[in-house]
Every structure is written in C-alpha cells, then in structure tokens.
Amino acid sequence: MTAQMPADYQTLSRTIKALTAGESDEVALMATLACEIHHADDRFDWTGFYRVTEPGVLKIGPYQGGHGCLVIPFSRGVCGAAARERRTQLVADVEAFAGHIACSSSTRSELVIPVFGAGGRLIGVLDIDSNAPAAFTEEDARALEAILAATFSLA
C-alpha cells in the first residue's frame, strides 16, 4: 500500500483564493471549497458543510462524497460539538466519541471545523470524514482553519 500524501495546503489556499475572489455568497463559497478540499487529499472520503439554519440546528450544505445526514442538532455528534463549542474537533476514532452520529458506517475518523462569517457569526461547520483511523493531524486542522477564515470572514 502506498503512503498517502497530505494536501498541499499552500497550493490549495492559492487555488481557493483565486476561485472565490470577489464572491460573498456563503453557499457558493461552501460549494467551491467542498470540491477543492475533497479532491486535494486521498484521505478525505466525505467533505462538506453543515449550515446553521436555526438556533441549535445544522442542516446539510454543499458536499462531496456519499450521502450525509440531513439534520444535526448542536447537541449531537462531532459536528454538533464543533458548532456548540465553537472549536475544532479532531477525532482519531469516531467509535470512541460519545454521541457520534454514524452518517456513514465506513467513517473511522473525523475533522470538523467551525466556520465563522463577518463579526464572528457561526455560519456552520466543515466536516471531513476518513475511512482510515487517525487520518487527520493538527497541521490539517490549522491549515484548513486558515483557509476557512480567509474565505468566510469577509462574506
């Protein structure tokens, strides 16, 4: 088995910046990022956004991969924890995460990052799933947090 190469975050950041320049529509931005991030790294089996649609509720937004859960309350799962706590969740083993929601039975690890708009408004979360355990690193989290902040902070 060949070792998987992590995403080239510098190139990914430049590509996303070029593709989204001048765009302020949050759904359009999410669609573009979901596609670009998903295809940047073989570890990423499901890549997408859950949007805050009402207080305490996330609903599926643009994504790449198989089907996702349609609605996730802030009180449940890794996505709910990221939204509720307003901080990144790096989960090496989803089976060990209390309250994990199994949208896909093949998911083994997960990285969920809150997405903030202008003024720190919580827009939603970026959810990345992998079929491999412990697939994500702090480097992945920091690089993707920076991409999200650069893309959405002015939207």
Q: What is the pLDDT of residues 69-111, one digit of tens each?
A: 999 999 999 999 999 999 999 999 988 887 767 776 788 899 9
pLDDT score at 99: 72
Query: Considering the chain, what is the average pLDDT of its residues?
Result: 92
Neighbours of 94 (CB within 10 A): 19
Strands 57-64 and 46-54: antiparallel
- What are the tens digits of pLDDT across the range 3-57? 456 789 999 999 999 999 999 999 999 999 999 999 999 999 999 999 999 999 9
Q: How far is CA 63 from CA 1, 8, 21, 52, in A?
A: 28, 20, 20, 15
d(CA 50, CA 78): 12
pTM of the full structure: 0.92
The residue ranges of every structural domain in the chain are 40-152
Q: How confident is the model at residue 2 (pLDDT cuts 50, 70, 90)?
A: very low
| Fold exhibited by the domain 40-152 | Beta-Lactamase (3.30.450)
Contact by Cβ (8 Å): 99, 79: no
pLDDT in tens, 120-132: 999 999 999 999 9
Residue 115, pLDDT > 50, answer yes
Pair of tokens at residue 144: 């993707």
